[in-house]
Amino acid sequence: MNALEVRAALALAIVYVLRMLGLFMVMPVLAVAAMDYPDYSPLLVGLAVGGYGLTQAALQIPMGMMSDRWGRKPVILFGLTVFAIGSFIAAQADTMAWLIVGRILQGAGAIAGAIMALATDVSRESQRAKVLAIIGIAIGFSFYLAVLLGPMIAESWGMAGIFAITGMLAVACMPLIVWVVPTGTLLSSGDTLPQKGQVRRLIASSQLWRLNVSVMLLHMMITLLFVQLPVTLLHFDMTLDSHWTLYLPVLGASVIGLIVMMGAARGKTPKSLLLISVLMMAVAFGMMSAQDHAWWVVVVAIILFFTGFNYLEANFPALVSSIAPAGEKGTAMGIYASFQFFGAFLGGVLSGVVTDIWTPATAYLVGAVAAALWLLIVSGINEVSRVKRVMMNARFSDSQTASLKSSLATVPGVLEITLSSEEGAVYLKVDRDFDATQARQILASA
């Protein structure tokens, strides 16, 4: 990567980390800290934890499309502004109702697609995967950091402190976008951003809907867990500032488990490991529902849960990328992200309702039953080989499309071709045998 690409990748990764920190830091904290609000109820806690997911799900695709029309940076700055306003409202909230309003506004800053598109705009085709990988690693890192920092910040400055810091971090991201990240040329975005005409067909795809529902259930369960777990830990006389002493070793153990599972997968995504991961989460929730204040049961259950969660969170996007048609990954990932965030909302509501009517143990049991049913959905996912996606720019007319497609089909390693004369773009799905030089020669002679 050249200096410009390194600068863009690091700046966008920092923006992503700081924004996701603000969304996630409250998850391990809110269920306990919310008891101080006068209108406290388990249902409102669930809405406050998962409320951001509703607006994220609703606006993920529209905000991505807006960045194609208005430009990446204006949409990202607008999203950061809305996110900061929501954070400051939540910081000033003296009731759960206002806290929920703040969380919903936080979610309205749905800029994930625009950030990824900007990363694509400012990087060369040969280096694009590295730039996106840096941002992807940052996303995963932000969750672990948030789980550890949230309880410590809450103990010192309370919920208001978490949200105030979150708002200030969002404001601090704006100069990075304006002055540090270069302004790239808007590129064809079929493999980066959603396209309106593709949404209905991809939602109905027999394989993609299984992955969409799976990521919805995955994030439903992580939210359900964090609505319940902080309260469960109170039974062991653990104050908020000491919760990190559990989370740190548990997350470390789960990462080791993830590495072992990745090694067993050998670069593929075997269905057996997907099923094992879902089964781990089902067993974890079953153990949590049955535990009678037994510390070892809680520790083992959380390690099992996070090992399964980490593996699925890392591999589902790769499966979507492999299955989505050439030139339609942006739409497929936009739909996937919408289901992902809706799952967070669903988990908060479900946990709150069940706890309100029955008990926390029942909420854990609901998670176990949902995971058991989820096994049926995952069992229908076909194993696919990992593929690489390539986008090339070329000038050609509609009349040349058929012959160009026929010529590209002869290039070694080409698996799937989508051509767009309007965008001047050629989208390819290829394997490791792909001959990029031959493909460029065919496009140059078109």
Question: Do 277 and 380 reside in the same domain of the chain?
Answer: yes
Q: Is residue 198 in some structural domain? A: no
Domain boundary among 336, 365, 386: 386
Whether 211 has a pLDDT exceeding 60, the answer reads: yes
In a domain, 192, yes or no: no
One domain, residues 361 and 401:
no
Host domain of residue 344: 205-386
Q: Do both 363 and 435 map to the same domain?
A: no
Indicate if the pLDDT at residue 106 is higher than 80.
yes
Q: Is 20 contained in some domain?
A: yes
Residues 409, 370: one domain?
no
Specify the higher pLDDT residue, 267 or 407: 407
Q: What is the mean pLDDT of residues 218-231?
A: 95
Residue 429 and residue 348 in one domain: no
6 with 107, same domain: the answer is: yes
Kindly report, residue by residue over 407-433, the tens digit of the pLDDT: 999 999 999 998 888 878 889 999 888
CATH code assigned at 250? 1.20.1250.20
On the question of pLDDT at 267 being above 80, the answer is no
Indicate if 409 and 381 belong to the same structural domain.
no
Q: Which residue pairs from 352-359 have beta carbons closer than 8 angstroms and sit at least 24 positions apart in sequence?
A: 352/41, 352/42, 352/43, 352/44, 352/45, 352/46, 352/47, 352/227, 353/43, 353/46, 355/42, 355/43, 355/46, 355/227, 355/228, 356/41, 356/42, 356/43
**Domain identity same for 396 and 369:** no
On whether both 263 and 350 belong to a single domain, the answer is yes
Number of domains in the chain: 3
Residue 62 CA to residue 259 CA, distance in Å, equals 36
360 in the same domain as 301: yes
Residues 408 and 382 grouped into a single domain: no
Confidence band for 104, pLDDT divided at 50, 70 and 90: very high
Instruction: Please indicate, yes or no, whether residues 173 and 310 belong to a single structural domain of this protein.
Output: no
pLDDT value, residue 189: 62
